[in-house]
Structure 1
Amino acid sequence: MTFYAYILRCNDGSYYAGHTDNLDVRLAQHQRGLVGSYTAARRPVLLAWSESFPTRDEAFRAERRVKGWSRAKKEALIAGDLDRLCVLARSRQQ
């Protein structure tokens, strides 16, 4: 089975991170307002990024890691700009 960590871009411009074992079903649940109040109040949502993982634990760890990131780091990840992501990670550590 495959698991996913994902980032949604909400209608108000904010980001929401989560994890699931069925990305299509989970996205549809978010779109219908069936998952929590955060995304339900900020629909429609768009899938901005996702990555697959072999275990639920790895997907959950990725979700928790991304949730703690700044908006700039999330946007670098979404854009696939790994150089910028590394710069942002280093600048935060200093």
Structure 2
Amino acid sequence: MHYIYIVECCDGTLYTGYTNNLEKRIKVHNEKKGAKYTRGRTPVKLKYFEEFEDKVEAMKREAEIKSLDRPKKQALFSIE
């Protein structure tokens, strides 16, 4: 499976990413080995994710979410 996800960093900022192993990716972020953006903003907390069977679709959705402003991103995980 392929996933897009949003994590909230310790400073309150949001980071959106793609992975094919969600649990491992969150762990890597929190070990300060993930994306450069999150390395200095740990711990991160998973706020939202979507699952896809196709990598291309997941990457398209990641791009869509990255283009959203903060309130719209927050609306994604406020619904749940």
Residue correspondence of structure 1 range 1-94 to structure 2 within 5 A: 2-80=1-79
Alignment RMSD, CA only? 1.0
Identify unmatched segments of 5+ residues in structure 1.
82-94
1:25 is matched by which residue type in structure 2? K
Identity %: 38
Q: Greater Rg, structure 1 or structure 2?
A: 1
Greater relative CO, 1 or 2 (CA 8 Å, sep 6+) = 2
- If the length of structure 1 is used for normalisation, what is the TM-score? 0.81
Runs of 4+ in 1 over 4 A off after TM superposition: none
2:34 is matched by which residue type in structure 1? V
Identify unmatched segments of 5+ residues in structure 2.
none
Aligned length: 80
- If the length of structure 2 is used for normalisation, what is the TM-score? 0.95
